[in-house]
Amino acid sequence: MRSIGHFIGGKQVKGTSGRTADVFEPMTGEVQAKVALASRAEVRGAVENALAAQPEWGVTNPQRRVRVLMKFLELVARDNEALAEMLAREHGKTIPDARGDILRGVEVVEFALGIPQMMKGEYTEGAGPGIDVYSMRQPLGVVAGITPFNFPAMIPMWKFAPAIACGNAFILKPSERDPGVPMRLAELMLEAGLPPGILNVVNGDKEAVDAILDDRDIKAVGFVGSSSIAQYIYERAAATGKRAQCFGGAKNHAIIMPDADMDQTVDALVGAGYGAAGERCMAVSVAVPVGKTTADRLMEKLVPRVESLKIGPSTDPTADFGPLVTRAALERVKDYVEVGIREGATLAVDGRGFKMQGYENGFYLGGCLFDHVKKDMRIYKEEIFGPVLSVVRAKDFDEALRLPSDHDYGNGVAIFTRDGDAARDFAARVNVGMVGINVPIPVPVAYYTFGGWKRSGFGDLNQYGPDSVRFYTKTKTVTARWPSGVKEGAEFAMPIMN
C-alpha cells in the first residue's frame, strides 16, 4: 500500500507524527494509500524552509519567476493523462472531468505568466517642489493555502501560481482525502526549476490547519471549503494579523423563465447539477421555474433525463458521473434525501438504490430529484454536496429573484431566458457574487476573479485574477526629494505639496 508523506524543502519526506488517514479509491471502496497527518512541528519545519528560501526568490527578476511557471505548464501537459487518472482514482470523478479540473487550474497558471506587468507600480514626477512619488508591489513573504477535496488540481493551482509569481513562498495544505495530485504538482514545480522550499506541501487535518493559522510567520492564508470552517479560518487568521480569503458553501440557483429553450435548459441543469456527483461548489442544486406551466414543462423533460443518467466507475469514459469521495459523504447525502422526504418534498427520482455491478462496495449514488421544495426546508437551506437537484416553484419573476437574493449563500446563480431585458435586470439586482446568463456554471475566466457573497465568501479580495496580485503583495509608496543645496530651515507644520 502506498504511503504519502509531505513535500518539504524540495523533497518528499515521511510523516513523523505517527498519525495517518486512509485514502480511498471511491469506485471500489478500497483503501489505496495511507497519508501522513502533520503535527505542528512538521508544519513549522515547512515554514522554516519557506522562510529560508523566500528572500532570494522575492528579489528574483519577475520574468525569471514566471519562466518557472512556463516550464511547469509544459510538464503538466506532458503528464496530463497520468495526473487525470490519479485524480480520478482518488476523488471519484470521471477522467474527462478530471482533465477539466486540471485545465481550469492551468488557465490560472497561464494568467500568472502576466503578473510581472501587473506588479508594476505608479510614478508621479513633480508631485511637489523637487519631489517625486512612486509605489512598488512587494511579496508578503510566506503565505499558505488550505484547499478542498473536490478540486485537488484546480484550486491548489489557483492558490500557489499567483502567490509564487508574486515572489512569495507557499505552504499548501491540501485535502487529506485526495492528496496525490497536489504532491505531484509540487514535484513538477521543482522539476520546472522552482527553488527548494518555495512550494511545500503538508498533509494533515485540523492540527495542521491550526498550526498554519497560528504561525505568525505566515502572512496570508486562502481557503476553500464549507462555510462554517471558512468563517473559523477567517476569524482565527485575523487574530494573528493574517490576510485571509476564505470561500465557503453554496446553494446555486438556476432561474428558468417561461421563454427559455427548455431542451437547452434541461441539458444545462443535468450537466451542472449532476456532474462530478454534485461535488462542486458551483453545482446547480436548485432549479426555479417561473410559473406553473414552466414548472410542469421542466419536470416533464427533467425526470426522464435524471432517470437515464449513466453512473459508472471513474475510468469509464462514457459515464456521466462517478462515485462520491468517501462512504461518509455518500451516507450524508442519503440522509439529506431522507430529510427531504420527511419535510414533505416530492422525490420525483430516487437514486438511492443504485448499485454498480462489479463495484458493489464503491460509493455510488444515482441522481435524485425533488419537486415542490419549499424555502423553509433543510434541503433548500443547506448545502447537500451530492447528486441531488431541488425544484422550487416560483409564481413570478420577482419571487424567483428573491430566492437566491435572500438565501444565506451567494456563490453563483444562473438565469435561462431569451429576454435580454429580463436577463439584464436580473444580473443587476440579484444579490449573488457570480451570475450566468444561459450559462449554468458561471465560473469566470482566469483574468477576471472568482468569489461569492454572504456566507459563501469571507474576506475583501477574491481568488485569482487581479485580486490575487493585490492579495499576495503589499504596496510600498516612496516620496523622494533630492535637495538642491539650498538650506530652507526646519518645518513644523504638516507638510503639504505646494
Q: Where are the beta strands (DSSP E) in 325-399?
A: 346-349, 368-371, 388-391
C-alpha cell at 76: 503538466
Four-residue CA torsion sign, 423, 429, 431, 434: positive
Phi, psi values for residue 323, rounded to 5°? -80, 170
Q: For CA atoms 463, 468, 474, 480, give the dihedral sign.
A: negative
Number of Cβ within 10 Å of residue 413's Cβ equals 31
Domain locations in the chain?
Answer: 2-248+456-478, 252-437
2-248+456-478 shares its CATH topology with 252-437: no
| Domain 252-437 -> CATH class | alpha beta
Say if CB 30 and CB 24 are below 8 A apart.
yes
pLDDT in the model for residue 458: 96
Q: What is the pTM of this model?
A: 0.95
Pick the CATH number of 2-248+456-478 from 3.40.1080.10, 3.40.605.10, 3.30.1180.10, 3.30.70.20: 3.40.605.10
Supply 189's cell numbers. 514545480
DSSP 51: H
Instruction: State the catalytic residue, choosing from 166, 246, 281, 368.
Output: 281
- 361, amino acid identity: N
Let me know: does 199 contact 145? Beta carbons within 8 Å: no
Grid coordinates standing for 322?
A: 462517478
Residue 161's closest CA among 465, 489, 476?
Answer: 465
Cell of residue 160, nine digits: 500557489
CA-to-CA separations, 433 to 224, 283, 430, 440, in angstroms, rounded? 15, 14, 9, 14
pLDDT tens string for the chain (498 positions)? 899 999 999 999 999 999 999 999 999 999 999 999 999 999 999 999 999 999 999 999 999 999 999 999 999 999 999 999 999 999 999 999 999 999 999 999 999 999 999 999 999 999 988 899 999 999 999 999 999 999 999 999 999 999 999 999 999 999 999 999 999 999 999 999 999 999 999 999 999 999 999 999 999 999 999 999 999 999 999 999 999 999 999 999 999 999 999 999 999 999 999 999 999 999 999 999 999 999 999 999 999 999 999 999 999 999 999 999 999 999 999 999 999 999 999 999 999 999 999 999 999 999 999 999 999 999 999 999 999 999 999 999 999 999 999 999 999 999 999 999 999 999 999 999 999 999 999 999 999 999 999 999 999 999 999 999 999 999 999 999 988 766 667 878 877 766
Q: Which pLDDT belongs to residue 494?
A: 79
What is the DSSP pairing of strand 11-13 with strand 457-458? unpaired
- The set of residues, in sequence order, having a beta carbon less than 8 Å from that of 234 and lying 6+ positions away, is 223, 244, 246, 458, 459
Is 281 an annotated catalytic residue? yes
Q: What three-state secondary structure class fits 450?
A: strand
What does each C-alpha distance from 429 to 39, 135, 401, 417 come to in angstroms? Answer: 47, 37, 8, 16
